[in-house]
Structure 1
Amino acid sequence: MKSTGKALAALRGLMANLPSNLGSINAYIIPSDDAHQSEYLAERDERRAFISGFDGSAGTAVVTEKQALLWTDGRYYQQAGKQLDNAWTLMKDGQPSTPSIDAWFANELQPGSKVGVDANLISTRAWNPLETALKSAGCSLLPIAPNLIDLIWENQPAAPNKPIVPLSVEFTGKPIATKLAEVREAMNEKRASVLVVSALDEIAWFLNLRGSDIDYNPVFFAYILVTLEDLFFFVDESKLLPAIYDHFRANNVQPRVRPYDEVHGMLKSLAESSSSRVWISLGSSYALTTLIPEEKRMHAITPINLMKAVKNDVEASGMRACHIRDGVALCQYFGWLEDCIKNNVAVDEISGASRLEELRSLQDKYMGLSFTTISASGPNGSVIHYHPLPATNRPISDKEMYLCDSGAQYSDGTTDVTRTMHFGAPTEEEIHAFTLVLKGQISLGTAVFPRKVKGQFLDTIARKALWDEGLDYGHGTGHGIGHYLNVHEGPMGIGIRLMPDDPGLEENMFLSNEPGYYKEGQFGIRIEDIVQVVPANIRNDFDGRGALSFSTVTMCPIQTKLVDVKLLTEKERTSLNNYHKTVRETLAPLLREANDANTLTWLERETQPI
């Protein structure tokens, strides 16, 4: 917890006397976003964390003349409660008693009040309903520039300036020229002459490039404008080494490289001169959207987003392959950890996470972690997005549950897996709760569903066993995952909340399957696999619509010590045994080849049928 009084006072001073003689505002919104609406941020863009002290990946801060409030979802209630000082009020988003930001403004602000926000840091999808709600309350929403947090943030980190690297078609499966032709085909179908691309993972995927401007996310800061004749690439040219230009030539494309900051002027010019529509996603910033004349705006998810979500055969093969190698490292880690605990060798959350990272780094095609490892012992496991710090670090022992949520980036794919284990004697409550979570995880993993069904409709399948006993978890059940890209990837997902751009599930999409249960202050349980959407092997196909199911690509045992077999149906028990048989048959030859007898013994024991 850090003291925020000084920063809040400075911000309120600017709100009362805005730069450039813009007058004053009564409230200022500090979103989590950067100018590309990224989930994870570079250090210089962590403005909400700077002003509030809360550094979770999701949340919105609102500062008025007398109040400071932070909205965040169930993943972060505990973390925010610990990190916010007494100047802040925690608004538990998703709770029935918590008003939305729109509703809070309507009820708390006086008519005539002005609310400001940096229009680069708020999507058009978020701006529109907020502006409507404020207008209904007699208030106004104003774009404020420059960003007020930047004006008060002393020693704000510099913008990252790291080199961009090419990714071979050996891994991408499709050259840029082919992707460009497909995008232009989609533009012609929509009668659009310009496509605006601001999401960093879309740009990296489209150009077969990767970067490191944001930790754990192999992306780089850039924009793309696609026309029917040109491809404009807005980027700091110092990041482009000669290999990048060779890469473009090899891919038969010649982007027109422009400075990163020139995108606004170029978009305004292209939009005004265009005789047809300009395609921009509602997920792009409001600052970009307002550069396009209203009558020319076409709001829709970009074709790149949809193309990226459905992995091609090369990408799908890479995703499966990297999860096998990742499984080797995971088994080595959990086997090593168990031996340490049995032999009274001290291991804590931080040293455990470091050992897992070391083991992953030995795997072929390893490029780094895909997020900060959640290595959580005992009560820390109940903090859904916990990551160990020296102040919170706990030993891993045989007396408490241990939750490990981790993943890696490989040049052929991205991994994300959670396993919850107990290295001693779990309590009846822990076993019971774990089994309920497992029942939901198996139910979703074995579900059959029609092609193009929205992921939201599958969420209840994973929660039912918990709901039957009045239990639940405060996060989504599944997220898309990138191919050597962001560990969280849209536009599809599985959760209670509607994902507005969800196109429906299709073959070769990859998602997580991760129900959980968290008892605050005691333990946390989550079981997470990555699954591939595949054709279902059933008699009917929903009257020609197509039948789909999931194939689990994660390769790591689920600890059967924590399973109450009496609570499993025959189908659930068979499913778990079949999964463990696949894991054993897939990983055992690799461990034999590596002469890793200790891990092989652990694997064979942990995958015995129940």
Structure 2
Amino acid sequence: MISGSLKPTIARILQPQLSVLSRAMSVGATATRTDTTARLAELRTLMGSYNVDVYIVPSEDAHQSEYIAPVDGRREFISGFTGSAGCAIVTASKAALATDGRYFLQAETELDSNWELLKQGLPDVPTWQEWALREAEGGKNVGVDATLISADQAKSLTEKLASRKGGSLIGMDVNLIDLVWADKQPLRPKAPLQILGLEFAGKPFETKLADIRKDIEKYKGSGLIVSMLDEIAWLFNLRGDDIPFNPVFFSYAFITPTTATLYIDEDKVTEKVRAYLGDAVTIKPYNAIFEDVKVFGEISASAESKVLVTSSASWALSKSFDESKLTTLKTAPIEAAKAVKNETEIKGMRASHVRDGAAQIKYFAWLEKVLNSNVVLDEVDVADKLEEFRKEQKNFVGLSFPTISSTGSNGAIIHYQPEKKTCAVVEKSKVYLCDSGAQFLDGTTDSTRTMHYGTPTPAEKQSYTLVLKGHMAVARAVFPKGSSGFILDILARQYLWREGLDYRHGTGHGVGSFLNVHEGPIGIGTRMTYNEVPLDVGMFISNEPGYYEDGQYGIRIENVVQVVEKKTPFSFGDKKYYGFDTVTMVPMCQNLIEKSMLDEEEKTWLNEYHAEVYEKTKGFFENDPYTLAWLKRETALI
């Protein structure tokens, strides 16, 4: 339980830390490129010393985290590319950076002439694996930090190297980028752990352990290795401050039918946390996991009872075992359990989204007022103001990711984040896209609104309305139990496709409860992994189609929705049917809607949504007549 005296401490969690290039994931329209010549030269010298011809630099840390601590920003350091997704590959004479469509424009802006950009997903563009294999032909060795890729990735690369007559894949226990970075590399964070009380977690960690042990028994396992940081935080009802915007901490866990061990820097474990965990959990040093699981595997694993790992576990962990003593699970038991929120978490998620909606409503009303007053503010200024409004809300802890505050052509850079020295002034005459979220003790939020405070062009209104129609199609969907987000993606894109348009990102991602804003195993999109786990009642997922006109504007509309059971007139085959409740409470931009493009069912949904937004948020503005008037106007019937 978090007492009042602890709230100021936990409120520090997720406050932005300095990244390698000032802010992680950032890019300005005129961002300065990093000269990587000297860094690459030093890396190539080290590659020669370690007999490595091709060196792979993933984006992830040792726990396959999407968002990473500054100390793990190796790919950013060596390439100068600050986006959150991608992989760098370096040879004696070449360097390539592979990333997906969200970051094409950003990478083109940030990479210097030493780098070749591999635009993943485009025709005739090799994947980073294909590029690396091609460079390794002729018996050349490929090196990678064994903690930074999964065992499945390592196995696949090894097999393909053999088929392409390449050399060996070397799983290295030293990271060459760290050697280049040397004493300029940021230090590992040391913030103490915090306990998340039952009023927010909803279930004691002892009960969660008991449930996971049932899963271990179901899979006939002798133990379960846990390496994903949000899974460990959720399992033990603990939160940390090791990665910006994500309340997690560097650790491993090993769960057996009778024991639970937490591997962590012991300086982070206060006496209060030790007492809280009690005899149920043994605490050991972070790196002791590698020797412990090796010994345990040799003693306990058998043909009938094996150690369980997930497909996200690192190659370094898996190498500690004889492969015959391991069972690899596609979906982690904790990941699946965490995705379905309990009653307390559901209540908190819904309540936090109402408070967050009130903060955004106040912000968008304020922004209109200052723009009409001809006040000159840039993208950073207004993003900072939004954070101020969020701080006013109960249980606020910090942002859930860096705010994407973008005006005009910057909105077409899908994961744009403004920098003070290079960002644009927000103009009333241009489309403004704001993708933002917050961490509250009782929930995590993420929403995007695209606004226009002047006179939008017909093309802008048409684009916005096509995206809105796709958004509403997902929000209104009803589907049989057992359906995945993979099959729903077409609903969001159908209206854009009819015009020959599309967008280069997924339509939705799972959302944690005071945890990572991007949470597996569910999502809405074309990734085959989204077809592996069906949507289930109690899950929260984003609904965020978009459209981006390069050099002109970007449009995205995002709400978080909850999976709920739906009543249907019939029940074919006695199936249950599911759908979504929208929990984000922020009006759409009436100024950008081309109403003639909406049918009656769409108008009804929009009117009902706006009525709910008004009823749930109006009480926040009893002493704020300006914002209340703005809210009434933006939620008026269409």
TM-score exceeds 0.5: yes
Determine which of 55, 61, 64 is the counterpart of 1:28. Answer: 55
Task: Specify the alignment match of 1:39 in structure 2.
Answer: 66
1:134 partner amino acid:
L
Which range is displaced more, 500-509 or 135-144? 500-509
Task: Specify the alignment match of 1:72 in structure 2.
Answer: 99
What are the within-5 Å matches in structure 2 for residues 169-568 of structure 1? 169-249=198-278, 254-275=280-301, 276-300=305-329, 301-499=331-529, 502-568=532-598
193 and 88 in structure 1: CA distance in 2 versus 1, 3 angstrom threshold: same
2:261 partner SS: strand
Offset at 1:542? 4.4
Determine which of 170, 173, 181 is the counterpart of 1:142. Answer: 170
CA contact (8 A) 1:518 1:525 kept: yes
1:533 partner SS: strand
Which range is displaced more, 595-604 or 129-138? 129-138
2:213 partner amino acid:
R
Tell me the TM-score normalised to structure 1 length. 0.97
CA contact (8 A) 1:491 1:501 kept: no
CA contact (8 A) 1:540 1:547 kept: no
Task: Specify the alignment match of 1:570 in structure 2.
Answer: 600
Task: Specify the alignment match of 1:21 in structure 2.
Answer: none
1:121 partner SS: coil
CA contact (8 A) 1:377 1:401 kept: yes
Which range is displaced more, 523-532 or 443-452? 443-452
CA contact (8 A) 2:357 2:585 kept: yes
Offset at 1:61? 0.3
Task: Specify the alignment match of 1:51 in structure 2.
Answer: 78
CA contact (8 A) 2:453 2:591 kept: no
CA contact (8 A) 2:448 2:556 kept: yes
Greater length-normalized contact order (CA 8 Å, ≥ 6 residues apart): 2
Distance 1:378 1:461 in 2: 27
1:53 partner amino acid:
G
CA contact (8 A) 1:194 1:271 kept: no
Task: Specify the alignment match of 2:40 in structure 1.
Answer: 8
554 and 358 in structure 1: CA distance in 2 versus 1, 3 angstrom threshold: same
Structure 1 segments (4+ residues) deviating >4 Å: none
1:308 partner SS: helix
Distance 2:198 2:571 in 1: 34
2:345 partner amino acid:
E
Please tell me whether residue 582 in structure 1 is matched to residue 608 in structure 2.
Answer: no
Identical amino acids, percent of aligned pairs: 47
Deviations 1:446-490 (A, max 9, x none): 101111212111111100000111101111000000000000000
CA contact (8 A) 1:480 1:509 kept: yes
Which range is displaced more, 231-240 or 495-504? 495-504
Offset at 1:228? 1.0
Distance 2:472 2:273 in 1: 44
Offset at 1:539? 1.8
1:348 partner amino acid:
D
Tell me the TM-score normalised to structure 2 length. 0.93
Offset at 1:296? 1.3
CA contact (8 A) 1:435 1:564 kept: yes
1:98 partner SS: coil
Determine which of 172, 178, 181 is the counterpart of 1:153. Answer: 181
1:120 partner SS: coil
2:39 partner amino acid:
A
Offset at 1:392? 2.7
Task: Specify the alignment match of 2:148 in structure 1.
Answer: 121
Offset at 1:125? 3.1
Distance 1:47 1:545 in 2: 49
45 and 541 in structure 1: CA distance in 2 versus 1, 3 angstrom threshold: farther
Offset at 1:8? 0.4
Deviations 1:54-100 (A, max 9, x none): 01100000001111000000000011100000000000001122112
Please, which runs of 5 or more residues in structure 2 have no aligned partner? 1-32
Please tell me whether residue 603 in structure 1 is matched to residue 631 in structure 2.
Answer: yes
Number of residues paired by the alignment?
600
Distance 1:33 1:351 in 2: 31
- How well do the aligned residues superpose, as a CA RMSD in angstroms? 1.1
Determine which of 125, 128, 144 is the counterpart of 1:101. Answer: 128
